[in-house]
Amino acid sequence: MSSRSLLPALAGFLVAVTVAACGGTRPEAPPEVAVAPPPARLDPVVPPVKIGLALGGGAAKGFAHIGVIKMLEANGFKPEVVAGTSAGSVVGALYASGLDPFQLQEKAVALDEASIRDVRLFSGGLVQGLKLQDYVNQSVDNKPIERMRKPFAAVATRLETGERTVFIRGNTGQAVRASSSVPGVFEPVTIGNYQYVDGGVVSPVPVDAARQLGADFVIAVDISSKASGKRPDGMLGIVNQSIAIMGQRLGEQELARADVVIRPDVLDYGSADFTRRNQAILQGEKAALAALPQIRAAVQKLQAQRLADARAAAARREAALAPAPSPQLACKDEGSRWNPLRRKDPACTASN
C-alpha cells in the first residue's frame, strides 16, 4: 500500500479514537459507604443540690421547726445537713439522729416541761440545764455529734471572748445544752477550759454553720422574737427579747446569706408557753407550705446552673483534647490529556 493510501486510513483511525475518548462510557463510581452518625453527647452527671437546714432559737417557739420539717419532707425536700441554735439545736439534734418528723411530733406532744428544767436555788434560781442534756442524749441513743445520721452542728457563744462556737463533734446533749443556755436563765456550761451560753447571742439563725457543713442550698427558719412594741411576758420572755434586740442586726446579715427564709407566725407565742406546742407545729407547716414554690424554683435554678457549668467545662476539656486538623492534601487529577475534566474530584474542581 502506498503512503498516499495510508494517510486517509490513519486519519480515520485517529478520528475514531478521538470520538471514543469523548463519547465513551464513564466507569461507574464505587458505591458510597454509609457513615454512622456520631454518638449523641451525654450530659455530665451533676450531683443533686445538697439542702441544709438552719434552725433558729426561740425557746418554746421551737416546736414550729417540727412543722417545717414535716412539710419539707412531705414535698420531697430532705435536708441533708442540719445546724441549730438554742431551741433549734434541740430539734436539729433529734432530727439529725434519725428521727422522722412524725416521731419528732410524738416526742413534742409527750414532752413534760419538768423533764428538761432543773432549777437550782443556790445559783440564784437559774436553770442548770443538766436535765435538758440528759433528755437530748437519751433521745439520740447517746450518739456523739459525729455519729449522727445527718451532719449536725450546734452553735453556742464562748462567754470569755464572745466568739461563735460551732460544735460538730463530742457530747450531743452537752453541746445542745450550751447552745440553749439563755443568759440570766440558764447557768453557763463549762466545756474544757471555757464557758458557753446561748448561740443566739452571736448567731440567732445559723445559716453560716449550715454552709460549713457542706450545704449548697440553705433553708433558714426564723422564729426569733422581734421588738414589736409589745411587752414580753415573764422573765424568760424579757431575756429572750433582749437577746433578740442585741442580735437583730447581726441576725439579719446572716439571714441574707440564706437561699430561702421561712418565718412561722409564732411571734406572739410566749417563749415559755409549752401549752401551744401543737399550734406552733401547725404554724410551721403553714409557713413551709407557703414557701414551697420559692424553694422549688430556687433549687431548680441552682441545679440548671450547675448543669450548664458542667457542660461548659466538658466542652472545654473536649476542645483541649481534640487532635489538630491535618493539612489539606493536593488534589489528584485523574483526567486524561484528551479530557482533562474526566473523573476529576468535584471538590478539587470547585477549589480550582
Active site residues: 86, 198
**Which cell is 170 given?**
463530742
Whether 71 and 292 have beta carbons less than 8 Å apart is answered as yes
d(CA 84, CA 66): 13
Torsion of CA 340, 346, 348, 352, to 10 degrees: 70
Which cell numbers hold the place of 27?
466507569
Alpha-carbon span 352 to 344, nearest angstrom: 11
Lookup result for grid cell 463530742: 170
Place of cell 428538761: 116
Question: Could you please report the per-residue DSSP string of 193-234?
Answer: TEEEEEGGGT-SS-HHHHHHTT-SEEEEE-------SSPPPH
